[in-house]
Each structure stands twice: as C-alpha cells, then as structure tokens.
C-alpha cells in the first residue's frame, strides 16, 4: 500500500471539512421538517379525538340512535320488498297469461294460413302486438327482479351492521 501524498491528503481533508460544514445547515431544516410533521399529526389526532364519544353513556346513546335508524330502514325495506314481491308475482302471472295467449294465437295463425282464410292479417297484427307486449313485460319483470335483489342486498347489509354494533356492546 502506497502512502498518500500530502496534496491528496489535504484535498481529502478539505472535502471532509466542507461536508461537515454543510451538516449544521441541514440539521435545523431536518428538525423543522420533523416538528412540522409532528404538529400536523398532532392536529389530525386532536380533530379525530373530537369525534370520539366522551363516555359509555354517550356511546350507548349513539348506538341506540343508530340501531333505531337501522330498524326504521329495515321496516321500510321490508315494506318495499313486499311491494316488489307482489308486483313481481302480478307481472309473472300476466306474463304467463300473455304467453298462453301468444301460443293460442300462433296456433290459430298457423291454422288460418294453412286454410288461407280471410282475417289472417288481422290475427298476425294481434300476434305481433302480443309479442311486443310480452317483450315489454319480460323486460319489466327482469327490472323488478333486479330491484328486488338490490333491496334484499341492502337489507342484508343493514342487518350485518346492526349485528356488528350489537356484538360490540355485548
């Protein structure tokens, strides 16, 4: 190993001195940044602590209020589900009725066309009208089924929240 020459050693020491001179300038900035971050964190925690109920009585009151709101929503959802189920059943019955009419008209159309009797065009128009109404009712039936499923999902989510709250206080 070869000894460092004096100029190299001087240059190295000057570099170390320059580096050490920059540290006191950086340290206050780092400290200021750390203090600012702590103050932001402290302010955020203080703000969050204001939202936390003060004691068990206030917490219990909040839970009772929320439970009451969920029960009201549940009753409303039950009523809506009942209405949707009734509507769905009525639409389904109407759909089956129209499907039966459509089948009868199709059969009659076939008979008329095979016999070349007058009135076949009128029955064809009636058949097309029934097909159009059937398609509309199928669409409406699908929409009502989707609405019913969505309301049931909402009700299940509400029930899960109530169970979570009840579990927290038992």
Enumerate residues 6+ apart whose C-beta is below 8 A from 98: 130, 133, 134, 137
Query: 69-87: per-residue pLDDT in tens?
Result: 888 887 877 888 888 888 8
Q: Dihedral through CA 71, CA 77, CA 82, CA 87, nearest 10?
A: 170
CA gyration radius, the chain: 39
- HSE toward the beta carbon, residue 32, CA cutoff 13 A: 6
Query: 17-44: per-residue pLDDT in tens?
Result: 776 666 656 666 766 777 778 888 778 7
Query: 105-120: per-residue pLDDT in tens?
Result: 888 877 766 766 556 5
Contact 150, 77 (CB under 8 A): no
Domain spans, the chain: 1-52, 56-168
């Amino acid at each position: 190993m070869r000894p460092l020459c004096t100029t190299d050693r001087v240059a190295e020491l000057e570099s170390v001195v320059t580096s050490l001179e920059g540290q006191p300038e950086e340290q206050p900035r780092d400290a200021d940044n750390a203090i600012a971050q702590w103050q932001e964190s402290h302010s955020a925690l203080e703000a969050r602590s204001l939202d936390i109920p003060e004691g068990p009585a206030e917490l219990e009151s909040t839970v009772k209020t929320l439970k009451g709101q969920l029960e009201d929503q549940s009753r409303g959802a039950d009523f809506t589900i009942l209405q949707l189920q009734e509507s769905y059943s009525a639409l389904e019955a109407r759909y089956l009725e129209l499907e039966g009419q459509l089948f009868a008209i199709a059969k009659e159309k076939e008979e008329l066309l095979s016999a070349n009797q007058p009135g076949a065009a009128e029955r064809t128009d009636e058949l097309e009208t029934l097909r159009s109404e059937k398609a509309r009712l199928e669409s409406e039936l699908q929409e009502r089924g989707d609405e019913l499923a969505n309301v049931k999902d909402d009700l299940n989510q509400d029930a899960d929240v109530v169970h979570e709250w009840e579990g927290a206080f038992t």
